[in-house]
Amino acid sequence: MTTKKVNLSDYDPSSVPNGKPFTIGIVVAEWNPDITNAMLEGAYQTLLDYSVEESNIPVMHVPGSYELTTGAQMMLRGRRCDAVICIGCVIQGETRHFDFICEAVANGLTNLSIKEEKPVIFSLLTTNNMQQAIDRSGGKHGNKGIEGAVTALKMCRNAVEFAK
């Protein structure tokens, strides 16, 4: 049995909580800027659409995806964010850097989230080529920045509801 692929950019708007009470940071890597800036725009606009105050959406640029973990920690501690969305794009090349960077970021963000007890959203594209990245940053497979923002809002709501 095959599983239908779900394009999460087609989310049900009524399932997304109002973001007014929350501060949600965005950390974005400068590598592959056409891709990461498109994801940043998608994430930022989605947070605004769900009433997060502009002043409660701090944005930090970091040189590459490897720096997302440190940037996210600075954001959580320095700006007291309720959640942080980490945006990057790593494209498979000839070197093993792809594997090292992807694994380091995945582990780094998971560990940070557990340590800080805050949602840390993994919006890192790890693709075989540039076309796949284009398709996922506003193309035929949606915009993973939008999905990151929706995930952050849902996890902020969970943090409030389950802390009761």
Catalytic residues: 97
Q: Which stretch binds ligand RBF (CB under 6 A): 40-48, 57-65, 78-86, 144-152?
A: 57-65
Sort strands 83-91 and 24-29 into parallel, antiparallel or unpaired: parallel
For residues 87, 71, 83, 127, the Cα torsion angle rounded to the nearest 10 degrees is 20
- Does the protein bind ligand RBF through residue 29 (CB under 6 A)? yes
* Amino acid occupying residue 7: N
Judged on CB neighbours under 10 Å (0-12, 13-18, 19+), 162 is exposed
Q: How many residues does the chain have?
A: 164
- Does the protein bind ligand RBF through residue 22 (CB under 6 A)? no
Given 8, 16, 21, 31, the residue binding ligand RBF (CB under 6 A): 31
**Both structure tokens of 2:** 């095959």
Residue whose CB is less far from ligand RBF, 29 or 85? 29
Q: Residue 137: which H helix or E strand, with range?
A: strand 137-139
- Does the protein bind ligand RBF through residue 63 (CB under 6 A)? yes
Binding pattern to ligand RBF, positions 77-116, x when CB under 6 A?
-----------xxxx---x-x---x---------------
Residue ranges binding ligand RBF (CB under 6 A): 29, 31-32, 63-67, 88-91, 95, 97, 101
